[in-house]
Amino acid sequence: MTQEELDALMGGDLDLDSLEDEEEVQNEEVELESDASNVPDMEGKEPPKWGPPATHENKVVHQLDDVTKESEEKASEIFDIIEAISNDLMDKETDLSNVVDILEANVTLFKTLSEKFPDVSTFQTQLETNENALAEAQSVVEVLQNSGDSIMNVMDIMQYQDIHRQKIERVINVMRTLSHYMNSLFESQVDDSSRVSSAKHIEGDENDELASTEDIEALLEQFGQA
């Protein structure tokens, strides 16, 4: 309240009720100005655009289904290759084990001959040769066995791929459940063909740019394919 208004009020020339009404009007104008200042300025900015079209490449569930399918197929191919390698290693390990048996028998033989005929250098030479071959063969057998164990570990690790596939499928199921739930929320007993067509322009709209019939039909068709 200003000094002039206070003097007028004390002199009886000013009505208190009218003064309160005037203050309320001023307060409302201040609030409206404050609200208007908080509204973002959209002038010169492009309106929000729709997302990518609902094609097969952009549909989330379709993409997840493709991922799980391709992942399962590739994992099956990898398992087949690993199994074939493992079988080959086992076969070669068996063959080499037979060679080891022969070399062990040769070592025993030439050791006996070297002890009975120490003057014959050939027996000692063959003994050393077979002992070296035996050591190398046993080393190769050990490598094959370790490789077989490593392949088994790889196959165990590959089992996690199936777990990941199951997790993705669970996400798909949740998304489909939510989709069906949302569809049920928007269900209606009134057929869309019997509804009054939506107004393209309502009195009071500031934007005179009206969507054409083709634009609306294209938009509805896009949602129908989702």
Residue by residue, DSSP assigns 133-194 as HHHHHHHHHHHHHHHHHHHHHHHHHHHHHHHHHHHHHHHHHHHHHHHHHHHHHT--SS-GGG
Residue 5 has what pLDDT?
Answer: 58
pTM: 0.52
Q: What local confidence, expressed as pLDDT, does residue 7 receive?
A: 56
- What pLDDT, on a 0 to 100 scale, did the predictor assign at position 126? 93
DSSP character string of 55-69: -GGG-HHHHHHHHHH
Task: Quick: pLDDT tens for 55-71.
Answer: 767 777 888 888 888 88
Q: Provide the CA 77 distance to its chain's centre, in angstroms.
A: 22
User: Is residue 61 in some structural domain?
Assistant: yes
**Can you give the pLDDT at residue 222?**
67
Total domains in the chain come to 1
Angle at 156 between CA 150 and CA 161, to 5 degrees: 130
Q: What percent of the chain has pLDDT over 70?
A: 61
**Predicted confidence (pLDDT) per residue in 109-120, tens digit:** 999 999 999 888
With beta carbons less than 8 A apart as the criterion, state whether 126 and 106 touch.
Answer: yes
| pLDDT at residue 94 tops 70 | yes
**pLDDT of 130:** 94
**Residue 71 counted as domain residue:** yes
Q: Does 208 fall in a domain?
A: no
In eight-state DSSP terms, residue 72 is H
Lowest mean pLDDT among 7-21, 115-129, 140-154: 7-21
pLDDT above 60 for 78: yes
Asked if residue 141 belongs to a domain, the reply is yes
Structure tokens at 33: 């100005």
Find, among 91, 94, 74, 89, the residue nearest to 151 by Cα: 89
Q: Which domain holds residue 131?
A: 56-179
Calculate helix-pair angle for 121-185, 60-116, nearest 10 degrees.
170
Q: How far apart are the first and last CA of the chain?
A: 63
Residue 82 lies in a domain: yes
Point out the least confidently predicted range of 41-50, 65-74, 138-147, 186-195. Answer: 41-50
For range 206-222, the mean pLDDT: 64
Task: Taking residues 179-205, report their average pLDDT.
Answer: 73
High-pLDDT (> 90) share of the chain, % = 31
Instruction: Report how far residue 156's alpha carbon sits from residue 152's, in angstroms, rounded to the nearest whole number.
Output: 6
> 208 phi and psi, to 5 degrees?
-90, 0
Asked, for residue 66, whether it belongs to a domain, the answer is yes
Query: Is 143 domain-assigned?
Result: yes
In a domain, 215, yes or no: no
CB 37 within 8 A of CB 19: no
The average pLDDT across 166-176 equals 88
Q: What is the pLDDT of residue 166?
A: 87
Report which residue type is found at 62. H
> Which helix or strand (DSSP H or E) is residue 26 part of?
helix 16-38
Mean pLDDT computed over 204-214 = 60
